[in-house]
Structure 1
Amino acid sequence: MKNFIKNNALSLFFLAAFLLSLVGQSFAGNADANQQRLAEGGAPLSWVSYVTSSDFTADVAENWQSEYLQFLLFILATVWLVQRGSTESKKPGEEGGESDAEQKTGRYAESDSPAWAAAAGWRRSLYGNSLGLVMGAVFVLSWLGQSVSGQASYNTQQLAQLEDPVSWGEYVVSADFWNRTLQNWQSEFLAVLSMVVLSVYLRQRGSTQSKPVGAAHDTTGVEG
């Protein structure tokens, strides 16, 4: 168990941080929602009722979809685009999907390579793009979840104001949906931009996201 925790400490740390943040969001959101309901003369919601509500689901899903969109675009963009001096970039001149020898696929696969890396045809192609495909699938599912739960939450407000509910198609082109969506997207894109550019000039000793402290600014694709 000790070795398992040590060997998986990074993922366990972020899993714990995710769960604690999600639970904290549920309690804070429940308290905020109940304050609004009481101010409007309504009855408060229990915690269980709140975490199974469309409001909570929409809030969670809209954050998830923006995060996975960020990773999806970053994964795909770094195949073809470079940033000289950044740890987040390949070296200029290495753009593209690389050769089988560089990727250790097909006849260049090694004894400890994943089985599908050595396979031929669709299995190698599928495995060779599996990270982007999974990130893309989670993004699409999260986006759909946000749109459906967001529609339900929006229609609840519409009915409370004695206004007509909207269809799913009407909601996904509405200002409410895109306001919620784009405010998350812009922050994710800014965060990626900051990491790409700041890693050219700034350092964090011992981090895989930073070059060695003494590395030149134009050193590209090197992590310390």
Structure 2
Amino acid sequence: MRILRNNGLTIALLTAFLLSMIGMTVAGHYHENEQLAQHGLPAISITQYLTNENFLSALFENWESEWLQMATYVVLTAYLFQKGSAESRDPEEPPEGDKPRYPARWRHGPLLRWLYHYSLGLVLLLLFILSFLGHMLASHLASNAEAAIHGNSAQSLLAYIGGARFWFESFQNWQSEFFSTAMLVVLSIFLRYKGSPESKSLSASHDDTGG
């Protein structure tokens, strides 16, 4: 079918996402009930688990790092270069003239045109901020729920984000995203994958920049 051919990449990635979400939910549900049983607490249903602070914290924690990675990558590749990488513009070539073709609703007013120019980076940044806030709030609730199980007092949100746990959860994901992206940039100088637009052609030299 033409729709599958034209949208196969998105369909495959969303299918992988849904299967991974199912796996995360099922495994996380079992793990959560194991933890509750160890503390003599009743098990929760899978529906309850989907609104559980531990599930939401883990979910937003991972989304946060992915959106940060993509937003940073989109912005940095507009201004910075890596000679020889398929992921970079060529620093030796002047930027191509790009005459925008504005949709009708974006044509009027400098603000709308500016938003159109930078819409991809702005939306990715917004998704990062929303996921960051979701992670922060859910992780705070998870920390207080854990404290209650152990008979400790709850923390305020301000006190929680001033502590180490939240930032450890964030930085442990951020570092892996930045490292993997840097490796993609560097490895694309020397390695190839036939047919992929993310790779240089098999005939390109290591010094050739761009896909």
When normalised by structure 1's length, the TM-score is 0.89
Partners of 1:216 and 1:19 in 2: CA distance: 39
| Correspondence 1:14 to 2:18 | no
**Residue matched to 2:98:** 103
**Residue matched to 2:183:** 194
**Residue matched to 1:43:** 42
Partners of 1:115 and 1:103 in 2: CA distance: 18
Q: Is the 8 A contact 1:54 1:152 kept in 2?
A: yes
Q: Which runs of 5+ in 2 are unaligned?
A: none
**Residue matched to 1:184:** 173
Q: Is the 8 A contact 2:39 2:149 kept in 1?
A: no
Decide which of 119, 129, 134 is 2:118's aligned counterpart: 129
Change beyond 3 A, Cα 1:93–1:117: farther
Name segments (4+ residues, structure 1) moved above 3 Å: 113-120
> Percent identity, aligned pairs only?
37
Q: Is the 8 A contact 1:104 1:117 kept in 2?
A: no
| Correspondence 1:216 to 2:211 | no
Question: What does 1:67-216 align with in structure 2 at a 5 Å threshold?
Answer: 67-93=66-92, 102-105=97-100, 109=101, 114-115=103-104, 119-216=108-205
When normalised by structure 2's length, the TM-score is 0.94
Instruction: Give the C-alpha shift of residue 114 in structure 1.
Output: 3.6
Letter in 2 for 1:70: Q
Deviations 1:128-153, CA, capped at 9 Å, x for gaps: 01001100000000000000011001
Q: Is the 8 A contact 1:117 1:128 kept in 2?
A: no
Deviations 1:183-216, CA, capped at 9 Å, x for gaps: 1001101110110000000000111111011210
Q: Which runs of 5+ in 1 are unaligned?
A: none
SS class of match (1:150): helix
Change beyond 3 A, Cα 1:9–1:160: same
Partners of 2:107 and 2:203 in 1: CA distance: 39
Partners of 2:38 and 2:150 in 1: CA distance: 15
Instruction: Give the C-alpha shift of residue 161 in structure 1.
Output: 1.6
Alignment RMSD: 1.6
Return the structure number with greater relative CO, CA threshold 8 A, min gap 6. 2
